[in-house]
Amino acid sequence: MSRTETAETVVDDGGEEEFDPIGTLALIGVYFAILVLAWIYVYYIEFLSRDLVIVG
């Protein structure tokens, strides 16, 4: 007695959204902009004014 099996293709249509690289890049860009603004604040305002407010 021989049994023949056929391969079935499984398709997942669970309604989940696909990976969106634009949203991820936008989030990274926002974090980078915050980092740059913080660096500009610390460098130009705190260090060049010679009046450190962060320490005391």
- Of 39, 3, 56, 25, the C-alpha closest to 48 is 39
pLDDT at 40: 87
pLDDT at 36: 95
Cα(43)–Cα(47) distance, integer angstroms: 5
Tell the burial category of 10 from Cβ atoms under 10 Å away from its Cβ (0-12, 13-18, 19+).
Answer: exposed
The residues spanned by each domain of the chain are 20-56
pLDDT at 45: 77
- Write out pLDDT tens, residues 2-55: 566 566 666 655 666 677 688 889 999 999 999 999 998 888 877 776 655 566
pLDDT above 60: residue 1: no
